[in-house]
Structure 1
């Protein structure tokens, strides 16, 4: 009878194989293979199937689309049909190179972040982590990887200004045929998923950049794809995008990017003789089976708001100028506005803004009429703004006292005092972070 060595694992090879297929990352798999001769031996026997399983753990059921994205050859074929059919999505199990592992994991992080944003803004406003069902998530991720491939094939920074000016109508028409051919490979239901996610990504660019000057600018931004949308969402502006692409926003109108996605969609709807999606219908219906809280109302005023209502999960979507939160005439008191803005911090940073608002709900002192407002409720923007305005001055008073500040004598007119706005001495000598005892409150 053969005995196992003291260093051997008391498990059969098929169990070792099975254990490795549950590794959440390639790094975990590598550590497991290096730490045990048993794992190493089994891995050398079945490297393709084990790597495929780990890749699935990282990406999920959209793995075929993710693999096509990282393995599509560069430069791509020029013939539209060849471009559309090269490197099909139904890959057989294979060994991954180190570069492929990194790309697969990096792209998966982008898609997961984008899905979290999509869920928060389109599915359920109460959670920063995706609440999409497994089927909804598959549709979304599949479309996202296909959009990433499309943007890889037709990047916004592929031409310089001079090269763009030199492109003639024949060359532009060829590129448009290529774009149409690439999207035309997908069945209609999956093409509508792509349409839905493109609309969502475009919405991010519009929201974050304070509106888009023209459809041409939006087409240019769409070429940044999911990674560009995530970058804009996190940074709250487009400054993190490729510099060459941003330069196109300042340039003259060019036909290359006009209808970046919309023209291929239009061509395909016409060729397939199907009605295009209606502008007044939510594109999310092609991805989502259900929206949570679509008919919810404001917890205070009962105004219908649905997904637009603000909760602790989506407060960072607010655009707030800190000094505008100061009540009444305090906004114009120069002895208060600058130090208040410093204390509030950079409210364009989502994390800082979220903590700032949450702190107002954690205050032990509440303004009259707001005692029953709770942090876990949902509010329309006017109501939440009103809550913040009624408590900003109280918060600022408490923060100043914490640092050792001793308030001078209260001004009779408190935060409503007109004199504080134009007489520096009065603003400095009296405390205006208080409720008026004369005049209107």
Structure 2
């Protein structure tokens, strides 16, 4: 049987199975027969491909809602974004298809990170179940739209507070449009974006070990999922002038959540809004034996440590007076590339630096009196810090010798202190 002998239904099915719109455009240009079939079923074919780009057809309405709000420069969609159920009735434009492809890549990358941090620490690629994946993507798109519509103004111009009250009222109305489970999906997505923003903040700042208090990280999620992911990839942390103390998202969510009749605590409901069960939730630290589940660190997730043990904290883990020795700490942080955003290094390079350092720390030949550490071990964050306290200075000393640096006098205060 030749290609031309295939029925129209079969060929239409093949077009619906194409991976993206660029492939679709190339295919229908290659054959008059396929072009005619596409023209006969344009909406169903585009809708199926769009659903694949979003991860699932159940996610598509939420994704289209974001795409169609993206060109809204006012950042407020009056009075409410069009309902999700209406999205599929509107023909999709080429520009919208391109944005779906672009945004789908963003959400897919966020899902990989979410899974790595909350589902399976052994895999940087998503291990969410199909249902968990739908929940995550749908929650991210809905939170993304919230950011597009209800972010605070970047600068307070002192105008009438009624504008802010109107935005808050619209934000609450938006969240009230969702059923309870869907609303908690949005909140779980918002919580993850806050977590990722905090990761960026710690990984980026090589000078301060102080952690902002209150709702600082949650407030800055108004930047939106795409912006926060871009910062993660650059090892950077953007600041939004109007975000601080804005109560972004969570004040509105709290007002909506109080109306739900929960059979469990709000925190428990939020913790299980996306993931049903983690992989190996009862795993314990190989050194102290504390049960930490997903919160263990080893060879497959060393790169994530950069946002937990900040460059500023790294200096404090050196012994004696070395943390105050700017000559040594500056050289150490330059090796660690604490300012990756300035040097323009890629995320993959940052991950490589972090993973190599931890691997070399564990492999370091040291006195037998210290703790034993293994490459296949899993350690809690407290024990990782203990590893750094025990071996970071020895590792740095070995690195300097490898580089042929001259050995300085073992001064009690620090290098070249002139006392």
Structure 1 and Structure 2 fold alike (TM over 0.5): yes
- Alpha-carbon distance change, 345 to 147 in structure 1, aligned in 2, over 3 angstroms: closer
Residue 226 (structure 1) shift: 2.1
Residue 43 (structure 1) aligns with: 38
Matched, 1:168 2:161: yes
Deviations 1:150-175 (A, max 9, x none): 22221334x6432xx11234x44333
In the alignment, is the contact (CA less than 8 A) between 2:362 and 2:373 conserved in 1? no
Residue 53 (structure 1) shift: 1.4
| Partner Cα separation in structure 1 for residue 278 and residue 189 of structure 2 | 16
| Partner Cα separation in structure 2 for residue 50 and residue 77 of structure 1 | 29
Residue 237 (structure 2) aligns with: 238
Instruction: For residue 374 of structure 1, give the secondary structure of its aligned residue in structure 2.
Output: coil
Query: Aligned ranges for residues 187-202 of structure 1 at < 5 Å?
Result: 187-202=179-194
Query: Aligned ranges for residues 15-414 of structure 1 at < 5 Å?
Result: 15-61=10-56, 62-72=59-69, 74=72, 78-79=78-79, 83=80, 86-92=82-88, 95-157=91-153, 160-162=155-157, 165-169=158-162, 171-209=163-201, 211-215=211-215, 217-218=216-217, 220-239=219-238, 246-249=240-243, 257-258=246-247, 260-270=248-258, 272=259, 274-275=261-262, 278=265, 281=268, 283-311=270-298, 312-313=300-301, 314-317=304-307, 318-321=309-312, 338-346=330-338, 350-360=350-360, 363=363, 365=365, 368=368, 373-392=373-392, 395-396=395-396, 399-400=399-400, 402-403=402-403, 405=404
| Partner Cα separation in structure 2 for residue 178 and residue 406 of structure 1 | 62
Task: In structure 1, list runs of 5 or more residues that go unmatched.
Answer: 412-416, 427-441
In the alignment, is the contact (CA less than 8 A) between 1:114 and 1:230 conserved in 2? yes
Residue 208 (structure 2) aligns with: none
In the alignment, is the contact (CA less than 8 A) between 1:299 and 1:377 conserved in 2? yes
Residue 134 (structure 1) shift: 0.8
TM-score norm. by structure 1 comes to 0.74
| Partner Cα separation in structure 2 for residue 276 and residue 24 of structure 1 | 42
Residue 432 (structure 1) aligns with: none
Instruction: For residue 125 of structure 2, give the secondary structure of its aligned residue in structure 1.
Output: coil
Deviations 1:351-410 (A, max 9, x none): 24433334416847465367963323211223223334544455445545555x3977x9
Residue 148 (structure 1) shift: 1.4
Residue 344 (structure 2) aligns with: none
Q: Which has the higher contact order (CA 8 A, sep 6+)?
A: 2
Task: In structure 2, list runs of 5 or more residues that go unmatched.
Answer: 203-210, 341-346
| Partner Cα separation in structure 2 for residue 195 and residue 221 of structure 1 | 15
| Partner Cα separation in structure 2 for residue 279 and residue 425 of structure 1 | 59
Residue 290 (structure 1) shift: 0.7
Instruction: For residue 49 of structure 1, give the secondary structure of its aligned residue in structure 2.
Output: helix
Residue 286 (structure 1) shift: 1.9
Residue 436 (structure 1) aligns with: none
In the alignment, is the contact (CA less than 8 A) between 1:345 and 1:352 conserved in 2? no
| Partner Cα separation in structure 1 for residue 201 and residue 364 of structure 2 | 37
- Alpha-carbon distance change, 167 to 129 in structure 1, aligned in 2, over 3 angstroms: farther
- Alpha-carbon distance change, 109 to 46 in structure 1, aligned in 2, over 3 angstroms: same
| Partner Cα separation in structure 1 for residue 42 and residue 160 of structure 2 | 47
| Partner Cα separation in structure 1 for residue 228 and residue 264 of structure 2 | 23
| Partner Cα separation in structure 2 for residue 31 and residue 369 of structure 1 | 66
- Alpha-carbon distance change, 366 to 48 in structure 1, aligned in 2, over 3 angstroms: farther
- Alpha-carbon distance change, 233 to 286 in structure 1, aligned in 2, over 3 angstroms: same
